[in-house]
Structure 1
């Protein structure tokens, strides 16, 4: 493909964008360009083993390493915001946890003005993604590109924790992606035979030899090309030069919840007051662009064991780590072969709650954070728990920091701003303590290290969470779907008021998912591709002759 004109342009190769680009090029009828700002591929050394995430979380070669603004709602300090900067986007550096969320999440979207997005509507796409022998055919897919497996129990700790959870009324649930999410279980993961499966490995790499698909890495979008109220292409920087690419049919923005609103604003789409503040001429007013930012927010809880053999601490250091490396290299086993957050709990904060509103991430070791960014396994024989509310209500925003397209976005989180969020955050800590204080787990505990037994009242717990919490990297909502005045896209993911432009990524979620976001984003990508292809069959493309002549820079791309 020598031309710089394509039928479709997909900006971003992450959990949604990689799926969209692969599916749009699948039938061979359409030419597709997929742009990825990162220059690292699926064979980058640290993205292959799931345990390599510790070398990605603060790695500028593969991570945008954003920071939020400081705000009193999270202890008047900035929050570290890692985002993937490599082929596959954040699916190439996340903890590879498979988690769809709950039926109530999608039904809520449909009830809020997003027809076609109920659980019944999205289930076929969730099944289309996966290939697993977990659960039943009613809920699980058997032939999709992403293999889903269950993490192994690498320590007796897991059974102790599961039994303690059952002792306080939380059932063991062998498939939290089935009929009900509630329960305690080993985590499901998108890892197979010790290798990460991202949209790069499972969608784009199998498709990259198609003559109608062009994947450009190291290509950072600077603005959308607009002709009146129609998007006709994209400008981007690659190898130090500026280029243009044009689309005869559509442009699909899949830059993620952090960068999709930024790209729209750089293109003159958004709140006119914000655009003018940065010297950008408004093209189309959409005041919801960059608003409605949501994420999960949790403080880390730590306990120390009173005996050896339960923690994985010694396997992550010195000779123990060397043994784990050898185990991984020769057998693709051990903790390096597994994702992060190997045990999951989905619980109700109180009996009257209809569906689980608390999620816990549990690992039998303790993480030492360096400034909230880098991380390493501590020497202490213990375990940690992240316990947080699932369906948070508090919202922040993401907007331009300046008119410089290469400047990081201005991320303004607001956490614990509603009574519901504050109450659930407190109950999440109490619920985790309840499990740890139950037999047979309690007999193995030497001490609660964090927050510590001195933190007991609701006010003390809330202050602890506020001052020491961090995001679980599930940002959503900044270009939300709907029909209200603050909605950015409609139920077919078309940007309101702009022809030829859709958004497909976590930014379109009206509310946050009860769990991790990578798999729901892949579902969004699958559903978006189907809608785009259906519309393409119904409408002829604009002819290349109707498009402006490409620039010399565009031809060189």
Structure 2
């Protein structure tokens, strides 16, 4: 493999062609004056399972599409290690995720602004959500039309899910037709980033329309090994991959969009982070920023699983050759049916305590049951009702183990290290049981198999949570935005104490949002692109 190759000189280098990076590549290269390079460690998104919505079962833990990270043994999960998928392909995690379009609660963003982050309130960010969007129902005050990102309703249904929806209303939850208007409390159905029954990743939505621009270079299968600094300014990046080893140069900015795991890891092995951590791995300090890799937040999830009668679920459909053939024909003919579904279809947001200002629980329900992720479905009809703690107080970290960029970082979730999270989890299981005992569910003769009826009291549920809790893979916060001692970037996403370097991805969220995180990551990139171009124009005006 050749060394010391010159991979070019650009105005902007974007590291990571994921949910944020593809948006940035489109927006920054829209002006032909800007020479942009987008770097992706994974390959092109040619795997057909990426584009078939149900294909996440085949891209999950697949080395051609997934970094295949593993968490450290987690005390809150009784020492269990979790698979931790992150996209390693054009489109990043938007090419392997559940396609759910959720913005969170307006209070999430108002809280960011109240923390001193100017321009990040709900009213500030709503125009950026709308700008990206091409909503199937057209434009209104909350939704956009004509944007790159198609958002549609579901294309499949099961009577057990409709009954669960009705049962939640019987138990006091309000019906909600749209979770993306600022207040998401209530029960309804997901919207998804799909177009015509096919996944709408950011590679498809944003990168594909821009890829032939002469001022945009896309380098795939090239890993960003280390940022290059001149004094306190980022001027480029060292690369390794199928084209060899070498470097690329940035005249204006290097932008890290490698995600909540990748971005802090690259910073640390480049000398930006807690000086004690850097000393331990033998990396010279460029900038002592203690918050790099800390403040990791994710949504703990608990699955309750039920065996049912008097109805059909995806279990039976997916276990027979005839059922699979019928699903395939339905998709080919109509672009509808089980092959279009996200991991969950029914969604609800609720409060674990009545005195909370906003929901802290997210309920999800899908017509499939299994013992553990990756296991085959049960041979009998079943469904899963999960609950996520969407405002967790526990904090983890992502830390480089060595200075070698090929060595995966240590991911410590520290789930349930704050007792309030455990209390919320118990309340969530109780809420699901309450819904499942409502009259609309009676005819299905439900039998709870996970965690099981033997875990009856609150103490029993709390004791069992460590055995069956997991995550729905929403890491954020490891390069948090703010102005406190642990902040990594300011409210224009510039890394503190350095020039020519920004972080633009889910890692900048100071606190996790109230729901799935992909739509918010896309919004962050939209807003960042405006700030980057504004700063460029400001500098050009000063120079003139």
TM-score clears 0.5: yes
Matched with 2:3 is: none
Structure 1, unaligned runs of 5 or more: 544-557
Matched with 1:317 is: 319
Q: Structure 1 CA distance, aligned partners of 2:501 and 2:362?
A: 35
- TM-score w.r.t. the length of structure 2 is 0.96
In the TM superposition, 1:2-401 aligns within 5 A as 4-41=8-45, 43-134=46-137, 137-239=140-242, 241-309=244-312, 311-318=313-320, 319-369=322-372, 372=373, 374-401=374-401
* C-alpha contact (below 8 Å) 1:101/1:513 kept by paired residues: yes
C-alpha displacement of 1:368: 4.0
Comparing 516-525 and 374-383, the one that deviates more: 374-383
Q: Structure 2 CA distance, aligned partners of 1:430 and 1:228?
A: 56
* C-alpha contact (below 8 Å) 1:57/1:63 kept by paired residues: yes
Q: Structure 2 CA distance, aligned partners of 1:3 and 1:533?
A: 24
C-alpha displacement of 1:240: 6.0
* C-alpha contact (below 8 Å) 2:188/2:348 kept by paired residues: yes
C-alpha displacement of 1:86: 0.4
Other structure's SS at 1:299 match:
strand
Q: Structure 2 CA distance, aligned partners of 1:3 and 1:264?
A: 21
- TM-score w.r.t. the length of structure 1 is 0.94
* C-alpha contact (below 8 Å) 2:130/2:142 kept by paired residues: yes
Matched with 2:501 is: 501
Q: Structure 2 CA distance, aligned partners of 1:274 and 1:352?
A: 41
What's the RMSD between the two structures over aligned residues? 1.7
Q: Structure 1 residues 353 and 266, CA, compared in 2 at 3 Å: closer, same or farther?
A: same
Q: Structure 2 CA distance, aligned partners of 1:278 and 1:28?
A: 41
Q: Structure 2 CA distance, aligned partners of 1:506 and 1:179?
A: 19
Q: Structure 2 CA distance, aligned partners of 1:470 and 1:122?
A: 30
C-alpha displacement of 1:395: 0.3
Matched with 1:421 is: 421
Q: Structure 1 residues 3 and 392, CA, compared in 2 at 3 Å: closer, same or farther?
A: closer
* C-alpha contact (below 8 Å) 1:150/1:188 kept by paired residues: yes
Structure 2, unaligned runs of 5 or more: 1-5
Comparing 532-541 and 427-436, the one that deviates more: 532-541
Q: Structure 2 CA distance, aligned partners of 1:119 and 1:302?
A: 36
Matched with 1:402 is: 402
* C-alpha contact (below 8 Å) 1:40/1:86 kept by paired residues: yes
Q: Structure 1 CA distance, aligned partners of 2:210 and 2:542?
A: 26
Q: Structure 2 CA distance, aligned partners of 1:427 and 1:134?
A: 35
Matched with 1:554 is: none
* C-alpha contact (below 8 Å) 1:388/1:424 kept by paired residues: no
Other structure's SS at 1:432 match:
helix
Q: Structure 1 residues 496 and 541, CA, compared in 2 at 3 Å: closer, same or farther?
A: farther
* C-alpha contact (below 8 Å) 2:99/2:342 kept by paired residues: yes
Q: Structure 2 CA distance, aligned partners of 1:245 and 1:541?
A: 27
* C-alpha contact (below 8 Å) 1:248/1:541 kept by paired residues: no
* C-alpha contact (below 8 Å) 1:397/1:413 kept by paired residues: yes
Q: Structure 1 residues 303 and 135, CA, compared in 2 at 3 Å: closer, same or farther?
A: farther
